[in-house]
Structures are given as structure tokens and as C-alpha cells.
Amino acid sequence: MNSIILRTATRFTLPLLLLFAIVVLLQGHNKPGGGFIGGLIAAAAFSLHALAFDPAETRRVIRIDLRTLIGAGLVTALVSGFIPMVQGKTFMTGVWTKVPVAMGEPLKVGTPLLFDLGVFMVVVGITLLMVLTLLEPEEKTD
């Protein structure tokens, strides 16, 4: 697509949509949201970028191979399930720790957030792999 309006709007909305995706990801274990919805929002943001520019440009913006992102997400989600087993608990039990923050109360971080992060990466990777593959021009074999 060659619309200057869409390109300009995408330059402004992409960072906002990605920030919103991160907010949805981080609040997922306390409120509605999480890795799946956050991943869909991030994938939609990059899909908009691919429509405004082209799939090759979007792949350059992402900077990581989508198959690698999917694999890293699967490993992250799996590791979040094994962390409690190291402590003698059952698989996928929530384990929490407090991380000190410069100002204010310590931040509680746990394995559910790590699992959500893995789901986020898998959803972004799979969705964008499908969308970008469909948007890429067909190679002619003559």
C-alpha cells in the first residue's frame, strides 16, 4: 500500500500500541489481560506496519527471526513451569519473589508473569509469521 496517511499514522500508533500491549501483558495476573491478549495487540501493531510499509521492512523493524521468537517463548513458558519443581512444589505452581525498587515498595514478580511472557512471544511470533508470509509477494519461477 502506498498511502502517506497510513504510513504517518502507523509511525505514531506503533509505539503506542506496543506500549499498550506491554501494559496488558504486565497486568494479566491481576486483571483481565495477559500474554495472549498482549501478544495479539503487539502482532496487530506490527501487522499494521506491514500493511503501511511492506513485510520486509517490518521484519527489519522486529530484528529477530520469528521462528526464534516462537522457540524462545516456548522455552520461557516451559521454564516457568519447572521453577517450582526446583523448590519441591508441583509443576506450574506460582512462585513469587520481591524485587527491590529504587523508590517505594518492592515489586512482586512471579512465575505466572514469566509464563505470560512466553505466551506473549509465541503469539506474536506465530501471528506475525502467518501475516507476513501472506503479505509477501509470490516468487515467480520461470
Write the CB contacts of 28 (distance below 8 Å, at least 6 apart in sequence).
Answer: 34, 35, 37, 38, 112, 113, 116
> In whole angstroms, what is the distance from residue 95 CA to residue 32 CA?
20
Domain assignment of residue 16, given as a range? 4-70+112-135
pLDDT band of 8, cuts 50, 70, 90: very high
- Residue 39: inside a domain: yes
73-105 per-position pLDDT tens digit: 999 999 999 999 998 899 988 898 888 888 888
- Residue 142: inside a domain: no
Specify the pTM: 0.89
| Start-to-end CA span in the chain (Å) | 26
Any idea which residue has 506491514 for its cell?
A: 50
Provide the pLDDT for residue 142.
Answer: 62
- Residue 95: inside a domain: no
Instruction: Please name which of 20, 44, 46 lies closest in space to residue 33, comparing C-alpha atoms.
Output: 20
- Residue 103: inside a domain: no
34-62 per-position pLDDT tens digit: 899 999 999 999 999 999 999 999 999 99
